[in-house]
């Protein structure tokens, strides 16, 4: 019986601190492609790692968990392509062209192009784009078969909304990731509008936390409501081995841009037996985009407030008027889980 190809060896992702803007979880979508005869292009952006099933076949051939085109026999065609609409527009710093399990059918080289389009393209509109609408992000570059191919772009790209992955001459790619930074369209904000500057959709980023044992800090500022308990930020139970004496667990967010916080929303959805007792918000204004130093001059934005299980808590008049701030620290006491933190700010006050 045929054996499964070995999975690619573990490789450290050099772009792990960046957001995968193409992720299906964020709304990334493969719009169109030249050919997906053996395996559908929709597999490219799945969140879970690719898998291989021995003996699994379709009426077109071996089932593969990825995007795979047929063997190219056209002398006038030198590559296949797929166009991906990003879940969030931004600047791409690096990609992963993951050819896991494609060991006899991977492309030899790839190239990447970008497009900044004012509206979300529909599949039938892709072919109508003029060729000069696309600009090169990565020239033709070799890729290894059956491996994660982490490729840094020559320079952080300009703002892009769509990507075109080209594979030469044909073959299969299991997963495609496009790591970068969100670049919101601030022209969409109307005077007087409050914007959730903590949200990744507006460039917010969870920079650091003292503990994220059960679920990661990056969930805290996703723009949609949590779907279950692991879709939030949860710390372990405080015991003698991990109690630091800091007066609670904490998480630091960098706002998408400076703003005066007018409303804070703390959600504990799905944390029915494990929310914190109290939450507190601290803030500061800093020119540094990275995590503030240990001696940073945090000021209290929201004093300790009790929270209930599986609830949405809205705070307005409890907030101190600190003026424009750039970073916010959520402190939970003594431990537990928070599904979302939303920080609505007045940009005119910035």
pLDDT tens per residue, range 92-124: 999 999 999 999 999 999 999 999 998 889 998
- Is the separation of the CB atoms in 125 and 201 below 8 Å? no
Give the separation between CA 201 and CA 83, rounded to whole angstroms. Answer: 22
- 44-73 confidence digits (pLDDT tens): 999 999 999 998 998 888 989 999 999 988
**Architecture in CATH for domain 19-182:** Sandwich (2.60)
Domain extents for the chain? 19-182, 190-349
Is residue 308 over pLDDT 90? yes
On whether the pTM is more than 0.85, the answer is: yes
pLDDT computed for residue 245 by the predictor: 57
Radius of gyration in angstroms for the set of CA atoms belonging to the chain, rounded to a whole number: 23
Mean pLDDT of 130-151: 95
Angle at 241 (CA atoms; ends 238, 244), nearest 5 degrees:
65
The encoded tokens of residue 280 equal: 């507190």
Proportion of the chain above pLDDT 70, given as a percent: 96
DSSP readout, 280-340?
EEEEE--S--SPPPTT---EEEEEEEE--TT-EEEESTTS----SEEEEEEEEES--EE-E
Is residue 23 over pLDDT 90? yes
pLDDT computed for residue 74 by the predictor: 82
Give 215's DSSP letter: B
Give the separation between CA 210 and CA 190, rounded to whole angstroms. Answer: 37
pLDDT computed for residue 246 by the predictor: 63
- 212-221 confidence digits (pLDDT tens): 999 999 999 9
Mean pLDDT of 269-277: 97
The residue among 31 and 75 whose pLDDT is bigger is: 31
Is residue 8 over pLDDT 90? no
Is residue 344 over pLDDT 80? yes
Say if 19-182 and 190-349 have the same CATH topology.
yes
Q: Does domain 190-349 have CATH number 3.40.50.720?
A: no
CB atoms within 10 A of CB 247: 11
pLDDT computed for residue 289 by the predictor: 84
- 236-258 confidence digits (pLDDT tens): 998 766 665 567 999 999 999 99
- Tell me what the pLDDT averaged over the chain comes to: 93
């Amino acid at each position: 019986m045929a054996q499964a190809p070995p999975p690619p060896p573990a490789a450290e992702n050099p772009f792990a601190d960046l957001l995968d803007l193409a992720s299906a979880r964020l709304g990334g979508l493969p719009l169109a492609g030249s050919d997906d005869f053996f395996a559908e292009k929709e597999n490219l952006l799945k969140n879970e790692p690719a898998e291989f099933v021995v003996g699994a076949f379709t009426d077109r051939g071996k089932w593969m968990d990825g995007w795979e085109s047929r063997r190219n026999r056209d002398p006038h065609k030198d590559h296949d392509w797929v166009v991906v609409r990003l879940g969030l527009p931004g600047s791409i710093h690096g990609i992963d062209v993951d050819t896991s399990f494609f060991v006899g059918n991977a492309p030899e080289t790839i190239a990447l192009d970008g497009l900044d389009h004012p509206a979300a393209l529909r599949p039938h509109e892709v072919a109508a784009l003029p060729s000069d609408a696309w600009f090169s992000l990565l020239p033709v570059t070799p890729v290894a078969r059956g491996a994660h191919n982490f490729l840094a772009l020559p320079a952080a790209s300009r703002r892009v909304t769509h990507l075109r992955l080209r594979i030469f001459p044909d073959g299969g790619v299991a997963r495609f990731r496009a790591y970068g930074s969100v670049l919101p369209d601030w022209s969409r904000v109307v005077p007087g509008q409050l914007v959730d500057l903590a949200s990744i959709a507006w460039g917010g980023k969870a920079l650091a936390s003292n503990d994220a044992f059960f679920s990661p800090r990056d969930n805290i500022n996703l723009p949609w409501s949590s779907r279950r308990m692991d879709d939030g930020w949860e710390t372990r139970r405080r015991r003698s081995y991990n109690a630091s004496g800091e007066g609670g667990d904490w998480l630091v967010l960098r706002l998408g841009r400076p703003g005066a916080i007018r409303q804070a929303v703390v959600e504990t959805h799905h944390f029915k037996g494990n929310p914190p007792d109290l939450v507190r918000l601290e803030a500061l204004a800093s020119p540094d985009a990275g995590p503030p130093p240990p001696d940073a001059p945090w000021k209290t934005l929201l004093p300790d407030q009790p929270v209930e299980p599986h609830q949405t808590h809205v705070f307005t008049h409890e907030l101190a008027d600190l003026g424009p701030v750039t970073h916010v620290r959520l402190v939970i006491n003594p431990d537990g889980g928070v599904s979302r933190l939303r920080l609505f700010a007045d940009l005119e006050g910035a």
